[in-house]
A and B are shown apart, each in its own frame.
Chain A
Amino acid sequence: MPTTPAVTRSTVPSDSHLRGTPLLRVEDLKVSFPSEAGTVDAVRGVSFELHPGRTLGIVGESGSGKSVTALSVMGLLPDSARVSGSIRLLDRELVGLTDRQLSSVRGNDIAMVFQDPLTSLTPVHSIGKQLVEAIQVHQDVGKIRAWERGAELLDLVGIPNPAVLMKSYPHELSGGMRQRVVIALAIANDPQVIIADEPTTALDVTIQAQVLELLKKAQAETGAAVIIVTHDLGLVAGMADDVMVMYAGRPVERATVDELFHHPRMPYTLGLLGAVPRPDDRSGAPLVPIAGHPPLLIDLPDRCPFAARCPVALDKCLDNEPALLEVHAGHGAACVRSNEIVDGAIDGAPVFPLPEIPPGVMANVPREQRNSVLVVEDLTRGFPLTKGAVLKRRIGTVHAVSGVSFDIRAGETLAIVGESGCGKTTTLLSIMDLAKDAGGRIEFEGIDLSTANRRATRELRRRLQIVFQDPMGALDPRFTVSEIISEPIRAFDLAPAREIDGRVAELMDLVGLDPAHVDRFPGAFSGGQRQRIGIARALASEPSLLVLDEPVSALDVSIQAGVINLLERVQHHLGLSYLFVSHDLSVVRHLADRVAVMYLGRFVEYGDVDQVFGSPVHPYTEALLSAVPVPDPAVERSRRRILLSGDLPRPTEQQTGCPFASRCPLKPTLSQEKQQRCTTVSPQLEETADGVDHRYACLHR
């Protein structure tokens, strides 16, 4: 351990501006795990205080120790973990308690909301049974009373018809509903502390907004203190009072939320803030990636763990690991230069200079003069819904995509956004499958897919490539990088064998990988590098259209920024077109030229990204945009959030009328007659004004 505990303890920024005794006091918490490669010091000295009614946000990238910190407060670490330091709940020491002793604390005084609502509920017991169990473990009440209390709790978390839902099983509920149940379980015993570990990462934005609102409500009801563990800076900006940024197992900056977002003093925090795309950013300035990767937490040397990635590191950063020192009241930063950093700059020069992305080869060609790369007209795709094990009979159709039309010109990016289940991935796969068993017409580079012969199809395949979401699953683990990247070259016979090595090196260079690493396996690379390999493979066959299926959603923010910049650079360099699918509106705003908002298999709004995001017309687009957290506490406080009720309806029935009618916040405000029209007339995409690239499908806007 590089630092002595005494140093860490004395330098913790005090919460003296907050009166009263803290509810939870964590002091110099250290957690380590044994592993094959050596002892992993996952948490290396975390201290914080938590006061009633306050919300602490713990932010960090994967491997920063934020989840381990949360789990150690709950006492849920595996047996192999070695924990030292102190965790005091009021005046009770939790470190060193046995599992049995902790059981009376867990769920009663401290409750936890986990990331995945599917796995945090037992699938074989009904919701009611699980609630009753949670209540009866800690409270001496009868079964009937507990059942009633359970129903009350469900009502409190906004579940319609709680009496019926008590008898349902977890798989019958949607993700958002399940997370509500998990929150109901968490607040069942009026806990003093609620720990939410990435509570909304698995949820769609509109559901996320609902759940966050609910968490705030639950906090208000119970007066509990909340710890939110997350990688999402926007979420923290909207939820937390205090923020602790963690890096390599230690807090590197800690302050109130406004202070941290507006006057960060640690280069890592600055880097994180610069790396996040913002949904309200229209400047189009490149993102600032943080170079390199977080260090391995094994035998860390006594020096600043961020120094290797820090653009303003000095020699003295390597002397020893800086402690979390108070910069001024209530604001601590672990950086030797924190006093020099003013508004993200040292002596007027920004800590993270903006990277340069050269303008695109097509930048000066107006859209009308560019060639259409892909034209999709009235694409429709349904999946049969069958019943019966032996004799399958068709009982209906899932309308995944119905009547979608769009076109992509050379050198531009079209993004399709929407929540899970809206049909965006199906649209994309229909195109990749060259529209086998899909209705409608797809024309690629002027060739109609339905009439293309074998040879033309092969050429189409070459010109149309895909980058997948999961950087691990997309690469064959048994292939070396060289084999992976050269596979399309060999498959399409694009270069003679002796030139392949050179071509592979060229591609690796293009995507920012060291060509010396050609003989390594994908397992030896980090997530961001793997995604770069995937991009290199897609580029190997010299495509004209790249289909990007959530290409950065599995990556940490600092890495994500680098991949986004790479995609932009490659597009500008090669004049490629992108068809980009994402649920992350911030990334879409940053990367796309044009955007289509999809709901239940249809486009509801479509056009230039600045038009659609800047002045949204359709109520769904409005709600979607208002639900995205912005990494700016001032903005978060002042904005009006449109909460949608309910979940995405099941796409099994062909709908008459507007698909969004059931959740539309606009509809209840309309006259009876207009509401009638919503449910009977199906709205078509209409232009807003002549010559403006912006269409929407709403009858009443």
Chain B
Amino acid sequence: MTNQALPTEVAGDGVMSTMGNTFEAPARRGTRKWRLYSKRFLRNRMAVVGVLVFVLIALFGIIGGHLVPWTYSDVDFLAIGTGPSREHWFGTNGSGNDLYAQLAHGIQRSLTIGVLVSLCTTAVAAFVGSIAAYVGGRTERIVLEVIHFLLVVPSFLILALVSNSVNGDWRMLIVVLVLFGWMYYARVVWTMAMSLREREYVAAARYMGLGPAAVVLRHIVPNIGSMLTIHFTLGVVTTIQAETGLSFLGFGVKTPDVSLGALIGDGSSQLYSAPWQFWFPAVTLTLLTVSMAFVADGLRDALDPNSQAGGHA
């Protein structure tokens, strides 16, 4: 980063000259911002590839299941544990379920869990963390105590117990994952918001008579927005991994319902006798998480105002 080593102000002014030439009518306010973001995002090739792969996998999850006569729970007694064939594109498992249909459904289930959980934890963390930092005093102390308490609770154990007791209901799994997933990031948000709280534009907003909720929503959350977006994207990855982990161990989604983790768990026991049962879901999972990681990387370049990775706007 040569720019940072430069003891002149040239780097900062560089933006000025290049942004100076375009001007749009005030009626289309805000469009410039998004154009800028998308331009920077598109400059990161791997991120674009990531989006494409993710969209393909998601499409496969949504409509893939309708392209074959089988549903994920149908059992074909004539083809038990057979390899990929014209009838069963990805083969079948030991019970005679069509693996293609199961994979499509598993993606759907895993993605739903991943996106919902990540969305909820990010939202909760952002709001709780920044309110605590902005309001300060007692509220802040209590919130931090709760966070610290929840952080030391052995959440994995509780997760396993709860999901076992509701018999692998994926909706309950979402609730539990959110319940034990927001604290760590809330603490990160709290530290970021602490430094934002001291900014003069936050003081200026307060002197305009804006209330705490308005200040937090208008000035604090948007300024950690890029971090939140990145956290959300990476959160999808970690949630899917957590869910697969749980399902693999038998604590997550359970038969007859199917998720990527459950498929991998089943497949791993037949790795040598029926490798397709393991490799199709495993490769899909890898593609899914890697593509999301690339997307997160691209978003960071695009959204961070200090980012130099994408060059000048």
Residues of chain A at the chain B interface (Cβ within 8 Å): 33-37, 40, 42, 62-63, 65, 67-68, 71, 78, 80, 293, 296-298, 432, 457-458, 461-462, 464-466, 468-470, 473-478, 480, 482-483, 487-488, 491-492, 501, 516-521, 523-526, 537, 541
Contacts and interface: CB of A to CB of B under 8 A. Distances in A.
A491 B209 contact: yes
B6 A476 contact: no
Contacts of A541: 208
A40 B15 contact: no
Q: For the complex of A and B, list the 8 residue pairs with the smallest distance between their C-beta atoms, beginning with the closest.
A: A78-B5, A474-B200, A468-B200, A461-B209, A491-B208, A63-B8, A37-B14, A476-B201
A40 B8 contact: yes
B29 A476 contact: no
Contact of B205 (A33, A487, A521, A523): A487
A477 B305 contact: yes
B199 interface: yes
B18 A37 contact: yes
Contact of B200 (A473, A480, A487): A473
Interface string B19-34: 1100110100110110
What DSSP secondary structure best describes chain B's contact surface?
helix
A67 B7 contact: yes
Contact of B225 (A34, A478, A537): A478
B222 interface: yes
Contact of B199 (A297, A458, A473, A523): A473
B302 to A, nearest CB: 14
A518 B26 contact: yes
A111 B9 CA distance: 25
B308 interface: yes
Contacts of B15: 523-524
Interface residues of B, number: 43
Nearest to A65: B8
B273 interface: no
B148 interface: no
B3 interface: yes
B5 A462 contact: no
B23 A519 contact: yes
A470 B200 CA distance: 8
A62 B9 contact: yes
Given A78-B2, A78-B5, A298 B10 contact: yes
Contacts of B29: 480, 482-483, 519
A482 B30 CA distance: 10
A468 B204 contact: yes
B271 to A, nearest CB: 49
A438 B13 CA distance: 42
A482 B207 CA distance: 19
B109 interface: no
Contacts of A67: 7-8
Nearest to B12: A523
A437 B204 CA distance: 20
B204 A537 contact: yes
B208 A487 contact: yes
B16 interface: yes
15 contacts: A42-B6, A63-B10, A68-B7, A71-B7, A80-B5, A298-B14, A432-B203, A473-B201, A474-B204, A483-B29, A516-B23, A517-B23, A523-B15, A523-B305, A537-B204
Nearest to B225: A478
B33 to A, nearest CB: 8
Given A469-B200, A520-B19, 4 more contacts: A37-B18, A40-B8, A474-B201, A524-B20
Contact of A492 (B11, B209, B222, B223): B209
B219 interface: yes
